[in-house]
Amino acid sequence: MMIQKMMTKSTGPKSLSCCLRRTTTRNKCRTTTTTTTTKATTTNATTNAKSEDVNDDFRFCAHHTPGTLGTTTCSPSHKNGRKGEGGHFFRRNAMTITRNNNTNNRRRMTPCVSSSSSSSSSINTATTTDANASSKDTNRGYKRRDRLAQIKGTDNGKSKVGETLELKGWVRSVRSQKDRAFIDVNDGSDMSGMQMVVLQERANESAWSLVTATPSEVSTGASIRVKGKVVESPGGKQSVEVVVDELEIIGKADPSTYPLQKKRHTLEYLRGIAHLRPRTNTIAAASRVRNQLAFATHQFFQQNGFLYVNTPIITASDCEGAGEQFQVTCLLNGLEGGEEEGGINNAPSEEQIEKVEEQVKSQGEIVRKIKAEKSEGNATKEDVDREIKKLLRLKEELELASNPKTTTAKELPKLKSGAIDYEQDFFAKRSYLTVSGQLNGEIMASAVNDIYTFGPTFRAENSNTSRHLAEFWMVEPELAFADLNDDMDCAEAYLKHCIAHVLKHCDEDLAFFEKNISKDNLRERLQNVVDQDFARITYTEAVEHVLSAKKKFEFPIEWGSDLQSEHERYISEEVYKDRPVIVRDYPKDIKAFYMRANDDGKTVAAMDVLVPKVGELMGGSQREERLDVLERKIEEVGLEKESYWWYLELRKYGSVPHSGFGLGFERLVQYVTGVENIRDVIAFPRYPGSADF
């Protein structure tokens, strides 16, 4: 199956953009809910009560079993929440039934209250406890060896002093002295690794000979196994070190050719060796932060009752409406024949063949010389094999060039009009790589309640900026029975949860980024996001802030035009003093047709989350759930209703108010780490002209 870039307008949905924003109201009032009380019994109530991150802002109250209702009062510690949280918000259980004369309060976030102060460190959910117990049972009998991060723990390994450990990892550097050698080993689990000390008087003869050999096989990049005793380090750079008893080389690394020597390399250079760059501090640290953000993403939504949905990568519709999609087709298969069959002639020219012949001749001379050097002891068998391999590859290339294969090319199936007949294609219609999972997410939310997707998306935008990728990951929740306020609440709570989680679990990596990449108060800035309530303003207020600014902007703005990055940063950094801001109620003409129309007839229920140093980080909206309004909007933007028959039927059969947002995951990693180029926060970036590795 082949994929080609399509820059023309697709026949799918014109602009089903996938955004969502957050609004977390911090009402510190008491709430009394009167209903039938059903007490759910739980076990191990104390262990899971306090979520390790700012997760209680948007979840079932940690003080209540889901489904437990009644008139309650709140302990001071619960009502006030942790520092900066402003109280705990919760989403209702899908099966919790409340009676309230005001139907608008069905989904509203309210501060949760609890009657017992002793419960301030109690229940998450009974199901979570059961799941943890089940996990322990199924994991019994399996355990991987401890990595350096686990060995060092919270005390930098001091609790391991006196123990004999076996470690495996890669050599970062080696320093040799008269009677000892120091090997810095890292296994990728943390930033600093651990120092191995090989003492001549203690290590076995094999270990000592490995580090003193000329040239030493214990070189930068080599993988090794070490066994030795953990001792306190007399140096000031580390708390403990390992005195080596046994040393084994697992995989050699030729120091004369290894691309990652102990020096600083530019990130641009590292992109050319993506198979090795994860061994560097920057890329490894970004990968660990990305891992924790992904974990926190699943943790947040799972703890709040969202269903994880895998939406398809291949689709027949265009959620964003940009028309810049990668087309998926099988019709191009077999079109590589010669020109006489109507195909493409890829036969090389005589000049190209002569060039390959010269390369074969030159490489043959290199092989002859290195064989002679080997007979004199100046080259190894590996050196000879490597050059012979190059020669054989060139000979094969010459053979193909001298005798190009010709195949009979098939023709593209076409209609009488001359257009390509896509009914003959694999999917019997135009198909693309998805730009968003939102449409499928709406289907699922209309049946199983709150859901979220987290997967790769694609866009054939020929952009080489530091903010764009052709393949990127999106986090896209969809909330059923929810309005824009619910959407904003969820977005704020999710972002706070992720950042708080990373601050707790990636401090060493963040300290590295703060010192070497962002070179500012990175961790303090992130903590401010966790501690502060997000400001919430309308688009009209945002435009007024920009128009009244005393500074000049590159892009002018007026009501009805989209906010540029410079405007967004000015609002969050200067107007609101480095505080996240949610902008809502955008003009309908600059937003997608599926966003719910507001009563003023000019704006829609859309929102963007703006953060300092970046600008827009998340975007979302309340979806239009009214069938007649949606049909009218589809017609107004010039789309064919037939293409959206299934989308309209969601409004025809049991329609509900629903909202959602989208977060570009790489953008989040960029924001948390301070890394400027988006290509450096994903292991194998895809962008114009690059699909290697």
Q: Cα–chain-centroid distance for residue 228?
A: 38
Residue 391 has pLDDT above 70, yes or no: yes
Residue ranges, CATH 2.40.50.140, the chain: 148-251
Residue 360 has pLDDT above 70, yes or no: yes
- For 137, counting Cβ atoms within 10 Å of its Cβ (0-12 exposed, 13-18 middle, 19+ buried), the class is exposed
Indicate the fold that domain 148-251 takes in CATH.
Answer: OB fold (Dihydrolipoamide Acetyltransferase, E2P) (2.40.50)
Higher pLDDT, 245 or 397: 245
The tokens of 36 are what? 């039938």
Closest CA to 642 of 8, 3, 6, 12: 12
Closest CA to 504 of 294, 667, 296: 296
Contact between 457 and 438 under an 8 Å Cβ cutoff? The reply is no
DSSP, residue by residue, 556-606: ---TTSPPPHHHHHIIIIIISSS--EEEEEEEGGGS-TTBPBPTTSSEEEE
The tokens of 528 are what? 């401010």
Cis peptide before 215 (omega within 30 of 0): yes
Q: d(Cα 41, Cα 435) in Å, to the nearest integer?
A: 44
- Global pTM reads 0.74
The tokens of 252 are what? 């050699």
For position 141, what pLDDT does the model report? 84
The tokens of 411 are what? 């023709």
Map residue 534 onto helix, strand or coil.
coil
For the stretch 643-669, pLDDT in tens is: 889 999 999 999 999 999 999 999 999
Higher pLDDT, 386 or 581: 581
The tokens of 511 are what? 């300290």
Per-residue pLDDT, averaged over 669-687, amounts to 95
For position 59, what pLDDT does the model report? 46
For the stretch 110-120, pLDDT in tens is: 333 333 333 33
Q: d(Cα 615, Cα 630) in Å, to the nearest integer?
A: 30
Write the CATH number of the domain with boundaries 348-402.
1.10.287
For position 133, what pLDDT does the model report? 54
Residue 580 has pLDDT above 50, yes or no: yes
Amino acid at site 557: I
Amino acid at site 463: S
For the stretch 49-83, pLDDT in tens is: 444 444 444 543 433 433 333 333 343 434 333 33
Residue ranges, CATH 1.10.287, the chain: 348-402
Residues in a beta bridge with 477: 452
Average pLDDT, the chain: 82
**Longest Cα–Cα distance in the chain:** 96
Residue 370 has pLDDT above 90, yes or no: no
Number of C-alpha atoms within 13 angstroms, CB side, residue 596? 25
The tokens of 601 are what? 């007839």
The tokens of 298 are what? 């699943």
Q: d(Cα 529, Cα 580) in Å, to the nearest integer?
A: 7
For position 21, what pLDDT does the model report? 37
Q: d(Cα 117, Cα 390) in Å, to the nearest integer?
A: 74
Per-residue pLDDT, averaged over 259-283, amounts to 93
Residues in a beta bridge with 507: none
For position 25, what pLDDT does the model report? 40
First-to-last alpha carbon distance for the chain, in angstroms, is 20
Closest CA to 475 of 233, 274, 677, 308: 308
Per-residue pLDDT, averaged over 346-357, amounts to 81
Residue 337 has pLDDT above 60, yes or no: no
Higher pLDDT, 146 or 15: 146
Q: For residue 279, count other CB atoms closer than 10 A to its CB.
A: 18
The tokens of 103 are what? 């139907």
Contact between 658 and 482 under an 8 Å Cβ cutoff? The reply is yes
Contact between 463 and 678 under an 8 Å Cβ cutoff? The reply is no
Residue 23 has pLDDT above 70, yes or no: no
For the stretch 451-495, pLDDT in tens is: 999 999 999 988 888 888 999 999 999 999 999 999 999 999 999
